[in-house]
Amino acid sequence: MVGFGHRSPAPAEIAMVTHPSVTLLIDLSEDDQIASDAQGRRVRGSVVAGLVPGDLRVAGQGVHDCLQIRLDPVAATALLDASAELSGAVVSLEEVWGRDAGRVEDRLRDAASWHERFEIAVDVLGRRLGARPSVDPEVAYVWEQTLAGRGRVRVDDLAAEVGWGRKRLWSRFRAQLGITPKRAARLVRFDRAAHLLASGRSAGSVAIASGYADQSHLHREVKTFTGLTPTALAAAPWLAIDDVAWPTP
């Protein structure tokens, strides 16, 4: 998780880049932030963005604080009441957590520091995690291997490793994580490519390093996930701060 603050009287809008996680954006400001997606949906206040929400933008004005929490999809299934239905969707936190959403927001707003806010968030998530069932261990294993392989995995091989047929894996994976194993692999591979582009590498070298057939293949995937070209994606503000906000251990 990470805390963001915006201090400007002028309206500000930032495009969020698709990431292999379910994202909670908890709005701690007096004037609600507004999240909008590629389908034209506009959600005010705290939101949950499922996997692959497309062109997601968050706008606000004035003094804004926001707590962003990235949830591994396996954990999100246990933490959110409707995570399997969240793939590609952006919904209000209240729609997912009910009245608990408002109570959590109030606790976080009243906290004296970001450190205290992080402790509150960990406590809230820990309590919910212990109260709900998790996904099948086979599904969790396939997701973990997809991340470890940076999306360069063969779904049939993973199905064989867990002792399932391809059809069963696709059915259980999609039912529990809201995304097919193949699309999950594409998303993880895209995320790797996006960060390489943001680091300044050329599209051609990124295509090779990320396992795409060629530069045109990379271009199509970037367009599919973000609506941007690789050049525009490389300059995306959200990626520019990623290493600072989410340092790699």
Kindly state the tokens that stand for 119.
């402790």
Concatenate the DSSP letters of all residues of 179-192 into one string: S-HHHHHHHHHHHH
Show Cβ contacts of residue 145 under 8 Å, excluding neighbours closer than 6 positions: 153, 158, 161
Whether residues 171 and 198 fall in one domain? yes
Which CATH number is 48's domain given?
Answer: 2.60.120
Quick one: pLDDT at residue 77?
85
Quick one: pLDDT at residue 188?
95
Whether residues 193 and 93 fall in one domain? no
Residue 57 sits in which domain range?
2-131
C-beta of residue 101 within 8 angstroms of C-beta of residue 58: no
Which of 103, 131, 159 lies at the terminal end of a domain, its last residue? 131
User: Hey, which residues does 2 pair with through a beta bridge?
Assistant: 68
d(CA 195, CA 233): 9
Q: Going by DSSP bridges, is the β-strand pair 47-49/22-27 parallel, antiparallel, or unpaired?
A: antiparallel
Which CATH number is 241's domain given?
Answer: 1.10.10.60
Q: What is the pLDDT of residues 117-172, one digit of tens each?
A: 999 999 999 888 765 667 899 999 999 999 999 999 999 999 999 999 999 999 99
Whether residues 146 and 126 fall in one domain? no
C-beta of residue 222 within 8 angstroms of C-beta of residue 193: yes
CA distances in angstroms from 125 to 75, 83, 226, listed in the order given? 10, 14, 29
Which of 131, 162, 194 lies at the terminal end of a domain, its last residue? 131
Whether residues 17 and 104 fall in one domain? yes
Which candidate, 71, 69, 67, places its Cα nearest to that of 28? 67
C-beta of residue 105 within 8 angstroms of C-beta of residue 46: yes
Whether residues 159 and 112 fall in one domain? no
Q: What is the pLDDT of residues 63-94, one digit of tens each?
A: 678 898 999 998 888 888 666 567 777 888 99
Whether residues 204 and 167 fall in one domain? yes
User: Hey, which residues does 57 pair with through a beta bridge?
Assistant: 15, 36
C-beta of residue 147 within 8 angstroms of C-beta of residue 101: no
Mean per-residue pLDDT over the chain, rounded:
85
Backbone φ, ψ for residue 99 (5° rounding) = -65, -20
The yes-or-no verdict on residue 96 having pLDDT over 90 is no
Amino acid of residue 89 = A
Whether residues 185 and 216 fall in one domain? yes
Whether residues 105 and 153 fall in one domain? no
Whether residues 38 and 88 fall in one domain? yes
Cα angle vertex 185, ends 152, 2, to 5°? 110
Show Cβ contacts of residue 114 under 8 Å, excluding neighbours closer than 6 positions: 3
Whether residues 8 and 126 fall in one domain? yes
Whether residues 114 and 154 fall in one domain? no
| Strand ranges for 55-207 from DSSP E | 56-71, 90-92
Which of 131, 166, 199 lies at the terminal end of a domain, its last residue? 131
Q: Which residue has the higher pLDDT, 11 or 229?
A: 229
Which candidate, 50, 54, 52, 17, places its Cα nearest to that of 37? 54
Q: Is the dihedral of CA 48, 26, 16, 23 positive or negative?
A: negative
Q: Domain total for the chain?
A: 2
Quick one: pLDDT at residue 83?
60
The yes-or-no verdict on residue 57 having pLDDT over 90 is no
The yes-or-no verdict on residue 31 having pLDDT over 80 is no
Whether residues 240 and 141 fall in one domain? yes
